[in-house]
């Protein structure tokens, strides 16, 4: 640790790691000190030279002689002095909250811009870029951001905020950290100088909120562009900055990556592992390494629209989707639908040739889509583990997983053998359990949220004498989905149970029939129903977009779901009537072997 002189102030600077390695410079926000970065610095120092400093008037750094010393010009001068002290031709700059605001400003200034290899920003936009959003964004999004920024007006009031910092604000801040973000105060954060830091930092808001709106570096059209590579880390539960404002920042950075962490305002405290990983991956890539799969998908095209809905075909751009049972039916339609909306898709099926055909169809019909074929037996726990590891290693942690693979045994309960039950449970229920267990664990560890879709059925809540094993497994899938949704909601992971009625797929043709042979009747009935799997796929995409818990699909699915809730007795009565269908089929000899 050492002092750095900058004008009339002395800045307290801390260094860790080997100075010969690439340098990451961490700039804290308001009302923090460099100690807010302790956990992240500890995770980075073995691979990088990590530098932090207390901004003027905060922590151990001294205060300027006059309040006028808190302008962006003075803050940029401090950053320049720190860069001089580091003595490197270029550093990777990381800013949080007000530190992010001043970094957006600094990288547009000659003399600093050339010494910054990259900028990672979270918790705060550039003021010039935010001003353009407030002018050009939609009315609702602008109103939403104004509501989040209520405190800025309070900070401009005379005496009131100073009085708050001298009395109740330090205790309120600690309580907010505990309640809203689950962060326990520790030595260094909040700092012992919190009240003084809060009062001094008010002048950054009072002096810069208007002056900072004037961009210093613009393109030929006068837009506030930033030339350095920019990685935006969006803390999804940050109460101060809206997702719409953050998404708009990509418009002003030609080289822009947008990533998300499921965390509140102090993400570097609550999820330091995720923040450190993202910083390291970005710095490595800017320095020449191949991007990680997650970073590769986070790259955004320049010139994104401000305050508008996604362009057609881009609703799931940058997302990795895994679909099991993707070789046919609902699985194939779902894989194609996600690919058509910009996702990278892993198409898995027990029939590898069928998975390959799905991928070939996506590439041929949609063009330019990233799709990959994988073979897996969802009923085999060891193979599913290998599959999950392979997906993570080759493509990254998926954002969306659709556990669709399933099978069907039809017939009376007393005609089902033990092997029938075991086969149905292994594929329809254990297959979903394996997919949920393995990929949910990856999503939780990654810390960026995600969504799991489990394909259940109308049979999940409507009993049937014809489908005892199938109905039992699908009811288990629905309950599993409800339980898992409750557990992982706090991790930003949604879980949806999709419950289609009769869909015109090949499931009836490939089903196993015990007792009476209902194959011809069943195949004809599904063909007459005329409900294509593509319509189920549309419901799946909508469920992910809206984070819906249970989605009954088509008329009979919705009717069955409503009856199961309003009149369970009626659904049981219909199950008794379904026995009559057994008389429509041809008798089959009772099986004695283990053939499914």
Active site residues per annotation: 470
Q: Residues, the chain, total?
A: 596
Ordered strands of the 344-349 beta sheet: 371-375, 344-349, 320-324, 400-403, 450-455, 493-500, 550-553
186: phi then psi, degrees, rounded to nearest 5 = -140, 165
563: phi then psi, degrees, rounded to nearest 5 = -65, -35
6, 67, 84, 170 from 63: Cα distances, Å: 11, 9, 20, 20
| Six-digit token string for 73 | 């010009």
296: phi then psi, degrees, rounded to nearest 5 = -60, -45
| Six-digit token string for 291 | 């991007």
| Six-digit token string for 40 | 């992240």
Query: Does the bond joining 190 to the residue before it have cis omega, within 30 degrees of 0?
Result: yes
List, in sequence order, every residue forming a beta bridge with 25; answer none if it has no partner: 51, 93
Given a contact cutoff of 8 angstroms between Cβ atoms, the answer to whether 126 and 224 are in contact is yes
Q: What is the helix (H) or strand (E) element at residue 453, kind and residue range?
A: strand 450-455
Check residue 506 and report its DSSP letter: S
Given a contact cutoff of 8 angstroms between Cβ atoms, the answer to whether 126 and 82 are in contact is no
98-108 burial code (b ≥16 CB/10 A, e <16): bbbbbbbbbbb
| Six-digit token string for 170 | 């330090």
The closest alpha carbon to 224, from 213, 232, 233, 234, belongs to: 213
| Six-digit token string for 143 | 């109103």
| Torsion, Cα of 80, 86, 89, 93 (10° steps) | -70
Alpha carbon 13 to its chain's center: 34
Bridge pairing between strands 116-122 and 91-96: parallel
Q: What is the helix (H) or strand (E) element at residue 274, kind and residue range?
A: helix 272-286
Ordered strands of the 9-16 beta sheet: 2-6, 9-16, 49-53, 23-27, 91-96, 116-122, 230-235, 256-261, 299-300
| Torsion, Cα of 112, 114, 118, 122 (10° steps) | 20
Distance (Å, rounded) from C-alpha 435 to C-alpha 97? Answer: 38
């Amino acid at each position: 640790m050492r002092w750095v002189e900058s004008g009339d102030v002395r800045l307290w600077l801390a260094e860790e790691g080997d100075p010969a390695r690439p340098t990451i410079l961490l700039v804290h926000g308001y009302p923090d000190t460099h100690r807010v970065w302790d956990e992240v610095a500890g995770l980075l120092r073995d691979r990088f030279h990590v530098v932090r400093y207390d901004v003027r008037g905060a922590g151990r750094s001294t205060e300027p002689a006059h309040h006028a010393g808190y302008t962006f010009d003075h803050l940029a001068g401090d950053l320049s002095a720190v860069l001089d002290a580091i003595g490197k031709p270029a550093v990777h700059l990381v800013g949080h909250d007000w530190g992010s605001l001043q970094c957006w400003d600094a990288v547009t200034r000659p003399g600093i811009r050339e010494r910054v290899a990259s900028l990672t920003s979270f918790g705060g936009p550039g003021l010039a870029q935010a001003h353009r959003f407030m002018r050009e964004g939609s009315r609702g999004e602008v109103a939403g951001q104004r509501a989040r920024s209520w405190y800025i007006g309070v900070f401009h009031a005379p005496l009131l905020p100073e009085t708050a910092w001298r009395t109740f604000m330090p205790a309120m801040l600690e309580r907010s950290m505990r309640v809203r973000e689950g962060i326990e105060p520790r030595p260094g954060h909040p700092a012992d100088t919190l009240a003084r830091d809060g009062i001094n930092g008010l002048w950054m808001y009072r002096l810069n909120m208007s002056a900072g709106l004037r961009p210093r570096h613009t393109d030929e059209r006068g837009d506030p562009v930033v030339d350095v590579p920019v990685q935006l880390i969006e803390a999804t539960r940050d109460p101060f900055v809206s997702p719409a404002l953050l998404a708009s920042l990509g418009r002003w950075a030609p080289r822009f990556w947008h990533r998300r962490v499921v965390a509140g305002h102090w993400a570097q405290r609550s999820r330091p592992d995720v923040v450190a990983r993202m910083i390291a991956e970005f710095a490595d890539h800017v320095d020449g390494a191949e991007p990680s799969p997650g970073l590769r998908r986070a790259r955004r095209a320049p010139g994104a629209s401000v305050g508008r809905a996604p362009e057609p075909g881009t609703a799931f751009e940058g997302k990795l989707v895994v679909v099991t049972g993707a070789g046919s039916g609902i699985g194939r339609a779902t894989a194609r639908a996600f690919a058509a909306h910009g996702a990278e898709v892993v198409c898995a099926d027990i029939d590898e040739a069928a998975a390959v055909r799905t991928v070939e169809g996506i590439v041929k019909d949609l063009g330019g889509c990233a799709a990959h074929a994988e073979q897996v037996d969802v009923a085999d726990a060891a193979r599913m583990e290998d599959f999950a590891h392979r997906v993570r290693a080759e493509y990254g942690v998926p954002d969306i997983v659709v556990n669709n693979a399933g099978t069907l045994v039809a017939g009376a309960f007393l005609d089902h053998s033990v092997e029938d039950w075991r086969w149905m449970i292994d594929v329809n229920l254990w297959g979903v359990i394996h997919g949920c267990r393995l990929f949910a664990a990856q999503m939780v560890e990654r810390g960026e949220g995600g969504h799991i879709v489990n394909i259940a059925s109308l049979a999940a809540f409507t009993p049937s004498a014809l489908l005892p094993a199938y109905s039992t497994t699908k009811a288990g899938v629905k309950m599993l989905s409800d339980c898992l949704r409750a557990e992982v909601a706090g991790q930003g992971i949604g879980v949806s149970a999709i419950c289609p009625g009769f869909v015109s797929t090949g499931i009836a043709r490939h089903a196993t029939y015990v007792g009476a042979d209902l194959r011809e009747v069943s195949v004809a009935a599904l063909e007459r129903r005329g409900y294509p799997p593509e319509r189920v796929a549309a419901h799946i995409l909508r469920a992910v977009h809206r984070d819906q818990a249970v989605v009954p699909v088509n008329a009979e699915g919705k009717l069955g779901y409503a009856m199961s809730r309003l009149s369970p007795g009626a659904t049981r009565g219909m199950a008794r009537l379904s026995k009559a269908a057994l008389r429509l089929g041809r008798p089959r000899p009772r099986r004695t072997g283990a053939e499914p």
